Amino acid sequence: MQSAKPTNAEQAKHWSGAGADGWIELKAMIDKSFVPFTELLLADCSAGPTSRLLDVGCGTGDTTLAAMRRLGPKAQCVGLDISEPMIEAARAHAAKEGLAARFICADAQTHAFAPDVFDWVISRFGVLFFDDPVRAFANLRSAARGAAKLRFIAWRSPAENPFMTTAERAVAPLLPAVQPRQPDAPGQFAFANRERVSGILERSGWTDIQIRPVDIECVMPEEVLVHYFTKLGPLPRVLPGMDAALRGRVIETVRAAFTRFVHGDEVRYVAACWVVSAAAGTA
């Protein structure tokens, strides 16, 4: 039954506008930088006679298409995301590669999945934005077959990911009105608390829950750094309304704060994450 109150309304609005723009513009760089995560995510996925995989929060489709390549042409790979612009970008890239992956613009909390369909449910940082994560994972559980596996990657704490919080820390003295991140709120660090993640999965019907920490070194070209922090993260929400002088000060201040991560023509940082696995039940 359709909920009377729209779910994830704020997230849907953000990811249909400025939130999508940076990911689409920087797709090639992000996909290359995130290759280690994609390989980790798909490490145990193996092709079967009728492999069916769901990629939740698929964004511009990189992980969905990687799964399609890995599982082969007989597989059915579906990418789902709340962002229509990113889904359109994913469809375009699938068509360009001639891959038969399918993409759906929908909210995983409420989408009417056919029951007992998928062998794999995966996500690379795409399950962090639910306003009701138990509802979302219960809905995903209903779409999974009895022997299905869940695997996703999520960020650990802000303190363990200084690169990801550099911009907001640097800009705080200039923009004191910007609200700090709230623990457990939908967003990048929503699943920082290991016990919370385990509890969400248990309450939504998943079993054999395993959560392990991983640290992965990521690299991006230095030449895209300014574009990166002005298009992704917290700054895109506040930069458009600034006058030119303040905007210039903010960008200069933030760029200086990233100096510790710059090594010649590369930016290097360590991503502190969880790899979360679970089972839908028994075969």
How much is the pLDDT for 207? 97
Domain containing 120 — which CATH number? 3.40.50.150
- Work out the mean pLDDT of the chain and round it to a whole number: 91
How much is the pLDDT for 121? 97
2, part of any domain: no
235, part of any domain: no
107, part of any domain: yes
Q: What is the pLDDT of residues 38-82, one digit of tens each?
A: 999 999 887 776 689 999 999 999 999 999 999 998 899 999 999
How much is the pLDDT for 17? 67
191, part of any domain: yes
Q: Check residues 205 and 13 and name the one with the higher pLDDT.
A: 205
240, part of any domain: no
197, part of any domain: yes
149, part of any domain: yes
242, part of any domain: no
Domain count within the chain = 1
Q: Mapped to the 3 state alphabet, what secondary structure does the chain carry?
A: CCCCCCCCHHHHHHHCCHHHHHHHHCHHHHHHHCHHHHHHHCCCCCCCCCCEEEEECCCCCHHHHHHHHHHCCCCEEEEEECCHHHHHHHHHHHHHHCCCCEEEECCCCCCCCCCCCEEEEEEECCCCCCCCHHHHHHHHHHHEEEEEEEEEEEECCHHHCHHHHHHHHHHCCCCCCCCCCCCCCCCCCCCCCHHHHHHHHHHCCCEEEEEEEEEEEEEEEHHHHHHHHHHCCCHHHCHHHCCHHHHHHHHHHHHHHCHHHEECCEEEEEEEEEEEEEECCCC
Q: What is the pLDDT of residues 209-248, one digit of tens each?
A: 999 999 999 999 999 999 999 999 888 888 888 899 999 9
Structural domain that includes position 59: 9-157+182-217+272-279
Q: Check residues 272 and 175 and name the one with the higher pLDDT.
A: 272
Q: What is the pLDDT of residues 86-115, one digit of tens each?
A: 999 999 999 999 999 999 999 999 999 999
Give the percent of the chain with pLDDT over 70: 94
pTM to 2 decimals? 0.92
